[in-house]
């Protein structure tokens, strides 16, 4: 077949699609319980938005963005969003909320695009659920990001652990940054070529160097450079999280490379995912709204990889199969006219019902009922209808009985 999907892009069918929906539904439910409001934003934006917020020197912007010239006269360069946060921040500023009503709690969900090397848990289109809080600087807000992440994962049955770090703020990060540059220069020949570029442009990213983890372990740690305010904030975030039952492990390698990221950085890693185990990444970005042209408003948020959580759910056998309660088979035109009403009523009682094709024979339809795993077949015939009854066949036991049409929903649900 010529019209195949692109590399790194996926078709999700059956249990794979169901697992995604389960993860997303759970995240949405928890976000609402934390009093977040949904925001829906475009998947396509001006490329400058991402250069400005995701960072001109990040791998994502340098190598991974899908971008192209729009067909307008100005030749606007547009890009598919590689993450959710920039669009949310733009929308927040564009709606004037940074000035009129700065404290906001927003969540979003949808596809994002990064042209990276595809592998298990790493795709070129993937789905992120994320939250952003604007206008809060207190450590309780940071702690709630951790607790909320934990709540989403626990509710899904995903076993995870949380790593945390603080990368300081405008007061203390410059000294840490300088120490990193000095360390990088001293170990230049041991660092990878990517890191050679990073030293001056984005030295915090040196800690991400995948080539030599042992060497990275000798790098300066941001925690040793925290000012008193950042230290107090960090300790408070951790102790509030602990009080709510979320254990955090310090990982001094955990960084966000850009200047407007401040203080708290965290990740949740799930079990059973192999190399791509990070399912949630988040942190504070107190300088971002201002860097994007808004007022000086603090922010914090996290992004959750729905695809990876779905893989974890499937691996743990946590995706229930989608089986109908009953298939309804009408015998003849008159019965069919009654059956369409009947199935509508049954579905209103939250039963999962399929109306069978009237073009096929009873035997073939019972075959289909077995194949889709229906618990019951309801056979609607003219004679029975005249008496206000239908035939109800339990497809597990093979038993068939006559049930009054009025009792049908109860009979189906009662056997559940």
* Residue ranges binding ligand ATP (CB under 6 A): 83, 114, 116, 121-123, 126, 128, 276, 278-281, 303, 305, 307-308
List C-alpha distances in Å: 302 to 13, 77, 135, 138: 27, 27, 15, 16
Distance separating alpha carbons of residues 306 and 279, to the nearest angstrom: 8
CB atoms within 10 A of CB 71: 7
DSSP assignment of 305-348: EHHHHHHHHHHTT-------SEEEEEESHHHHHHHHHHHHHHHH
Considering the complex, what minimum distance in angstroms separates the CB of residue 305 from ligand ATP?
2
Nearer to ligand ATP, 151 or 384 (CB): 151
Considering the complex, what minimum distance in angstroms separates the CB of residue 306 from ligand ATP?
8
Chain center to CA of 185: 38
Considering the complex, what minimum distance in angstroms separates the CB of residue 130 from ligand ATP?
8
Nearer to ligand ATP, 279 or 356 (CB): 279
Nearer to ligand ATP, 102 or 303 (CB): 303
Q: Phi and psi for 187 in degrees, rounded to 5? A: -115, 25
Nearer to ligand ATP, 276 or 391 (CB): 276
Considering the complex, what minimum distance in angstroms separates the CB of residue 53 from ligand ATP?
12
Residues in a beta bridge with 300 = 133, 284
Distance separating alpha carbons of residues 62 and 38, to the nearest angstrom: 30
Contacts of 213 (CB under 8 A, 6+ apart): none
Do β-strands 160-166 and 44-46 pair in parallel, antiparallel, or remain unpaired?
unpaired
Nearer to ligand ATP, 129 or 376 (CB): 129
Check: CB of residue 363 under 8 Å from CB of residue 377: no
Position of minimal CB gap to ligand ATP: 305
Considering the complex, what minimum distance in angstroms separates the CB of residue 369 from ligand ATP?
37
Nearer to ligand ATP, 311 or 366 (CB): 311
Residue 35: both structure tokens together: 């009093």
CA neighbor of 271 nearest in space, from 161, 127, 162, 147: 161
Check: CB of residue 290 under 8 Å from CB of residue 381: no
> Each residue of 216-230: b (16+ CB within 10 Å) or e?
beebbbbbebbeeeb
Considering the complex, what minimum distance in angstroms separates the CB of residue 347 from ligand ATP?
35
Distance separating alpha carbons of residues 77 and 75, to the nearest angstrom: 6
Do β-strands 376-381 and 389-394 pair in parallel, antiparallel, or remain unpaired?
antiparallel
Nearer to ligand ATP, 168 or 281 (CB): 281
Nearer to ligand ATP, 85 or 375 (CB): 85
Considering the complex, what minimum distance in angstroms separates the CB of residue 376 from ligand ATP?
40
Considering the complex, what minimum distance in angstroms separates the CB of residue 408 from ligand ATP?
45
Considering the complex, what minimum distance in angstroms separates the CB of residue 309 from ligand ATP?
8
Distance separating alpha carbons of residues 111 and 128, to the nearest angstrom: 6
DSSP assignment of 166-180: E---TTTHHHHHHHH
Considering the complex, what minimum distance in angstroms separates the CB of residue 332 from ligand ATP?
51
Nearer to ligand ATP, 121 or 287 (CB): 121
Residue 119: both structure tokens together: 């592998």
Nearer to ligand ATP, 128 or 248 (CB): 128
């Amino acid at each position: 077949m010529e019209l195949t999907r692109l590399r790194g892009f996926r078709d999700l069918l059956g249990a794979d699609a169901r697992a995604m929906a389960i993860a997303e539904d759970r995240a949405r439910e928890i976000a609402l319980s934390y009093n977040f409001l949904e925001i829906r934003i475009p998947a396509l934006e001006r490329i400058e938005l991402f250069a400005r917020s995701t960072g001109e020197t990040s791998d994502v912007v340098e190598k991974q963005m899908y971008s192209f010239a729009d067909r307008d006269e100005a030749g606007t360069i547009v890009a598919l969003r590689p993450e959710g946060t920039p669009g949310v921040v733009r929308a927040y500023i564009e709606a004037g909320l940074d000035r009129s009503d700065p404290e906001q709690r927003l969540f979003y969900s949808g596809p994002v695009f990064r042209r990276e090397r595809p592998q298990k848990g790493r795709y070129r289109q993937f789905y992120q659920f994320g939250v952003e809080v604007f206008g809060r600087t207190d450590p309780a807000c940071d702690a709630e990001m951790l607790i909320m992440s934990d709540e989403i994962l626990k509710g899904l049955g995903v076993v995870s652990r949380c790593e945390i770090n603080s990368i300081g703020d405008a007061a203390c990060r410059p000294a840490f940054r300088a120490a990193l540059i000095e360390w990088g220069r001293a170990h230049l020949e041991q660092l990878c070529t990517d890191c050679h570029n990073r030293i001056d442009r984005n030295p915090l990213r040196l800690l991400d160097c995948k080539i030599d983890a042992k060497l990275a372990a000798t790098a300066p740690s941001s925690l040793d450079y925290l000012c008193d305010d950042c230290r107090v904030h960090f300790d408070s975030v951790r102790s509030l999280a602990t009080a709510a039952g979320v254990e955090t492990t310090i990982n001094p390698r955990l960084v966000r490379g850009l200047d407007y990221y401040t203080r708290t950085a965290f990740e949740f890693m799930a079990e059973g995912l192999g190399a791509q185990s990070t399912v949630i990444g988040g942190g504070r970005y107190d300088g971002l709204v201002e860097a994007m042209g808004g007022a000086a408003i603090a922010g914090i948020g996290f992004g959750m990889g729905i695809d990876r959580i779905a893989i974890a759910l499937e691996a743990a056998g946590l995706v229930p199969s989608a089986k109908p309660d009953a298939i309804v088979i009408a015998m003849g035109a008159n019965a069919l006219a009654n059956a369409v009403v009947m199935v509508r009523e049954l579905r209103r009682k939250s039963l999962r019902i399929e109306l069978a094709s009237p073009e096929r024979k009873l035997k073939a339809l019972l075959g289909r009922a077995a194949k889709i795993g229906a618990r019951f077949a309801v056979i609607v015939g003219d004679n029975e209808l005249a008496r206000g009854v239908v035939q109800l066949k339990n497809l597990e036991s093979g038993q068939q009985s006559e049930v009054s049409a009025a009792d049908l929903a109860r009979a189906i649900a009662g056997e559940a």
